[in-house]
């Protein structure tokens, strides 16, 4: 395999008669924000879950920093993950939830205080996660993903539920992450937002229909990502 930060080769996964992904291959280099796009049921989450070792593929392999994610003892520290189904201990106050994760990751509580500011949840720090709005829960999930200052972020639908401020905030956060050499793989349906956010685009429909730079797919910004998306998936 190449020295890509995230590598997917020949991935196939079926659920009974449903082919969720078929022969999906791509390499993601470091320092880039890569958007995984596709209709409902296109296989984005299955691909992400396969990369994270949460789904066992029928065929193919995935690697993160050269090794299968599940075989990396340092995976939790080096890869920040936020999935659409939020893995929050919903009855815990926000600060305690972050401290539980910090303890697991052997990170000092001082970092929890930093993260509360980074994700804008200081005022909500005493509230249980279940009392937060969807967008605020998303911020908490992102806070957990960022705790260990990982070099890779894998985010399934991170924009869902965020208000315009939240979307602008996350865009800045992801750009700063990539500018420092970090890598981001994120899925989203929000094509206009993705056009403002990503460096590279992977369009999926069971298999990869397109993988290239945002500049190429949008002809240096003269075409909309949405128009190009429909041309590709309806072709």
Binding site residues, ligand ATP, CB under 6 A: 15, 18, 20, 38, 40-46
What is the C-alpha to C-alpha distance for residues 140 and 142, in angstroms, rounded to an integer?
5
Identify the DSSP state of 107.
Answer: -
Q: Locate 68 and state its tokens.
A: 């299968």
Of 57 and 182, the one with the shorter C-beta distance to ligand ATP is 57
Query: What kind and span of H or E run contains 177?
Result: helix 164-179
CB-CB contact of 151 with 182 (8 Å): yes
**Minimum separation from the CB atom of position 128 to ligand ATP (A):** 27
**Minimum separation from the CB atom of position 221 to ligand ATP (A):** 26
What is the C-alpha to C-alpha distance for residues 80 and 144, in angstroms, rounded to an integer?
8
Of 40 and 222, the one with the shorter C-beta distance to ligand ATP is 40
Of 47 and 107, the one with the shorter C-beta distance to ligand ATP is 47
Hey, is 222 helix, strand or coil? Answer: coil
**Minimum separation from the CB atom of position 160 to ligand ATP (A):** 10
**Minimum separation from the CB atom of position 18 to ligand ATP (A):** 5
Query: What kind and span of H or E run contains 175?
Result: helix 164-179
**Minimum separation from the CB atom of position 6 to ligand ATP (A):** 17
**Minimum separation from the CB atom of position 11 to ligand ATP (A):** 11
- Rounded to the nearest 10 degrees, the angle between the axes of helix 164-179 and helix 134-146 is 10
Of 125 and 232, the one with the shorter C-beta distance to ligand ATP is 232
What is the C-alpha to C-alpha distance for residues 221 and 95, in angstroms, rounded to an integer?
41
CB-CB contact of 100 with 109 (8 Å): no
Of 49 and 111, the one with the shorter C-beta distance to ligand ATP is 49
Of 115 and 208, the one with the shorter C-beta distance to ligand ATP is 208
Residues pairing with 142 in the sheet: none
What is the C-alpha to C-alpha distance for residues 120 and 126, in angstroms, rounded to an integer?
13
């Amino acid at each position: 395999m190449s020295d890509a930060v995230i590598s997917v080769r020949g991935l196939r996964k079926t659920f009974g008669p449903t082919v969720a992904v078929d022969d999906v291959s791509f390499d993601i280099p470091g320092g880039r924000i890569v958007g995984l796009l596709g209709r409902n049921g296109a296989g984005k989450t299955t691909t992400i879950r396969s990369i994270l070792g949460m789904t066992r593929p029928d065929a193919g392999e995935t690697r993160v920093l050269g090794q299968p994610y599940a075989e990396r003892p340092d995976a939790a520290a080096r890869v920040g993950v936020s999935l659409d189904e939020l893995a929050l201990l919903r009855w815990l106050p926000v600060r305690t939830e972050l401290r539980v994760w910090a303890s697991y990751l052997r990170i000092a509580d001082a970092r929890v205080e930093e993260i509360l500011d980074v994700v804008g949840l200081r005022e909500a720090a005493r509230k249980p996660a279940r009392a937060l709005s969807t967008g605020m829960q998303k911020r908490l999930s992102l806070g957990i993903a960022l705790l260990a200052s990982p070099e890779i972020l894998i985010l399934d639908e991170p924009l869902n539920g965020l208000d315009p401020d939240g979307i602008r905030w996350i865009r800045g956060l992801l750009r700063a992450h990539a500018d420092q050499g970090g890598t981001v793989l994120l899925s989203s349906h929000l094509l206009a937002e993705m056009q403002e956010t990503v460096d590279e685009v992977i369009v999926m429909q069971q298999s990869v229909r397109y993988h290239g730079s945002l500049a190429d797919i949008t002809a240096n910004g003269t075409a909309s990502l949405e128009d190009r998306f429909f041309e590709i998936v309806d072709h």
